[in-house]
Chain A
């Protein structure tokens, strides 16, 4: 049921609709305003999400992006100002938290200090009227799962941070909720323990098969564990995709900058080639003599014309360095090395290009790899065009862009999206990448 790397999210949605399995959690136009000095300050503005049953879903973003508020709205601690929240198809927008079939793992763990570990874990079951042998068995097996059986009669104060974290997890999981909500649960742990817990969490999720909704500001954490990630910024979802898609094909400048290290090159479009070297639509950007900058044109990018300002991103580990210009139709830039930092498994080179950009390169220190260049050396940088990604100059995506359906639809149905283009763009001239599948070369041959 989870999306694989390249599947466009819409396909899976349609499949879900066909099998009739309702989404575990659905947010429809959810927004939350806070009142501050009589003014409404938006914390979350219009979020539409569909979280599938059984998936590990992450809400990723910097602090203040609205991810925790979104999670607290799902848990029922905040009431949305607008929009609806559905759990397994049932509208729960007005249902109090104690009558929602979800459980939250708090960032501070929020363990009951006056109860021992077993008492903490049994709390939810007792409220549901589970008692006697069933209670003991379920608490016992849950403590086994998180490897805390030995500490069942300890108070939370007597436990280490990692143990407290596992109690919090057990206390929520033992109720077998429809979805488990986790609010930065590993934030208070040190790095080593956090990495161990990431693997454990993922293993536990696979074992119990419960939908996990995980809030984090740590991109590594989200990439490690998630089936799908929603990257949030400024109260909105900037991109919703698999970890690989988020990393390899960031759709906005924010996503490119927030996830991993990205090189951003601001350039002018020289030409748009409907059938590039590999037969796919390609955009060629301004570059110096002998240099070449190109990138495949994706439907999400929106229409582009020669003369448009765009930003091109390329990941530091995708770039090759060589003393002479490499052959082939790939991207190639010349520059001078201004900084070399040795970091053990790899070395980072900072290269000043002749176009005035600074590009970071991660060079793997594998066997046989020698120190390829020194500070001050002239060098050629090259990478495959499919490893670079063009972002439109304006970061503001159209409203419909947050909805994955729009991307997956066949070209003919995508017309409404084309209508939504800015008025200044002549539809006849504009390259509509969504029409790419219709193999109409004329549409791409535009003003050079």
Chain B
């Protein structure tokens, strides 16, 4: 009896002390976690910060890798290098066109894979993932040999075809994932309320999968604008932004490249933010 009564009394202060020391340990762990998190974030953004900063560098000589003072000169002379401007225009138009085509085709493919059971579905799915998983060097080389065999001259069109090819899979995968929780009874409800198959798609299916389609399109655009390996195989004499920049590294990258890359980065971040806001608004 006495032991039973004494135990809680003896345990109480001990337990209190332990919980206090536990809290102290928690604070230390929390600090470590904070430090670790900031280090990782820094690792991720440091290259980008350096890139942006050197867009404002008043450089001396050909190399743009030592800080020499702040200037807005490169922003004013953004299009002073005609070849670089052409390459940027090529990259932007190819990215926009390939994204548009791949979004339509990839969405249809994602819908087919996510909604319908059909013969050969497993094969199509395998092909889709193989396209994503295959090394770009393999895709680029095999595509080049195909173009040579068929006698297609390499240039803008072959780059576009190549970009559409790898973008379809990315869009399809994202749209298909979006369909995972899709309740097809809302489509039946639309049919029941008098909407034909096309109206049902336009008014119900498409609005519901739109966030997925938008994510897929953003991903496709991002994949296309900086694609190097496949493009270099199939570009012929046409230059895209990444190809031009890579070529310039041997003689020194002009600060205009930093400025253009900064603009592309900021636009990309804004688009991603917009998509996140769209998703959040829909969820409510």
Contacts and interface: CB of A to CB of B under 8 A. Distances in A.
B284 A98 contact: no
A103 interface: yes
Contact of B193 (A113, A114, A155, A175): A175
A98 to B, nearest CB: 5
Interface string B180-212: 000101101111111110010001100110000
A77 B189 CA distance: 10
A97 B185 contact: no
B185 A123 contact: no
Interface in A33-78: 75-77
A97 B191 contact: yes
B282 interface: yes
Contacts of B183: 108, 110
A97 B282 contact: no
A111 B186 contact: yes
B282 A98 contact: no
B188 A77 contact: yes
Contacts of B203: 123
A157 interface: yes
Contacts of A112: 186, 189-190, 204
Interface in A175-208: 175
A123 B190 contact: yes
A108 B193 contact: no
Contact of B185 (A103, A106, A155, A158): A106
B189 A98 contact: no
What bracket does the count of chain A residues touching chain B fall in?
A: 20 to 34
A448 interface: no
B185 A96 contact: no
Contacts of B208: 113-114
A155 B281 CA distance: 11
B191 to A, nearest CB: 5
A108 B193 CA distance: 16
A171 B188 CA distance: 13
A157 B208 CA distance: 14
A128 B192 CA distance: 12
B193 A110 contact: no
A110 B190 CA distance: 9
A279 B241 CA distance: 103
Give the interface SS of chain B, mostly helix, strand, loop or mixed.
helix
A340 to B, nearest CB: 43
Interface residues of B, number: 20
A123 B208 CA distance: 16
Contacts of B283: 157
Interface string A95-119: 0111100011010101111100000
A133 interface: no
Nearest to A168: B189
A99 B196 CA distance: 9
A110 B284 contact: no
A98 B185 contact: no
Contacts of B282: 114
A175 B186 CA distance: 17
A76 B183 CA distance: 19
B192 to A, nearest CB: 5
A110 B194 contact: no
Contacts of B190: 112, 123
B191 A123 contact: no
Interface in A252-281: none
Interface in A374-422: none
A212 to B, nearest CB: 15
Contact of A104 (B192, B195, B207): B192
Contact of A103 (B186, B192, B196): B192
Interface string B269-284: 0000000000000111
Contact of B189 (A110, A155, A158): A110
Contacts of B193: 98, 103, 123-124, 127, 171-172, 175
A287 to B, nearest CB: 54
A97 B188 contact: yes
Contacts of B191: 76-77, 96-98
A106 B194 contact: no
Given A110-B185, A114-B282, A75 B192 contact: yes
Interface in B121-172: none
Nearest to A129: B194
Contacts of A96: 191
Contacts of A155: 284
A423 B189 CA distance: 51
Nearest to A103: B192
A98 B188 CA distance: 9
Residue from the set B185, B195, B207, B284 with the largest chain A CB neighbour count within 10 Å: B185
A175 B188 contact: no
A96 B185 CA distance: 16
Nearest to A113: B208
A112 to B, nearest CB: 6
A9 B43 CA distance: 81
A106 B189 contact: yes
B277 to A, nearest CB: 16
Contacts of A157: 283-284
Interface string B200-240: 00011001100000000000000000000000000000000
A114 B183 CA distance: 13
A175 B194 contact: yes
Nearest to A171: B193
Contacts of A110: 183, 185-186, 188-189
Contact of A127 (B186, B194, B284): B194
A341 to B, nearest CB: 41
Contact of A98 (B186, B195, B207): B195
A2 to B, nearest CB: 26
- Sorted nearest first, the 10 A-B pairs with minimum C-beta distance are A127-B194, A124-B193, A110-B185, A110-B189, A97-B191, A114-B207, A104-B192, A110-B186, A98-B191, A98-B194
Given A123-B203, A175-B194, 8 more contacts: A106-B189, A112-B204, A114-B208, A124-B194, A127-B193, A158-B284, A172-B192, A175-B193
19 contacts: A76-B191, A76-B192, A97-B191, A97-B192, A98-B192, A104-B192, A108-B185, A111-B186, A112-B190, A113-B208, A114-B207, A123-B190, A123-B195, A123-B203, A127-B194, A127-B199, A128-B194, A157-B283, A171-B189
Interface of B: 183, 185-186, 188-196, 199, 203-204, 207-208, 282-284
Interface of A: 75-77, 96-99, 103-104, 106, 108, 110-114, 123-124, 127-128, 155, 157-158, 171-172, 175
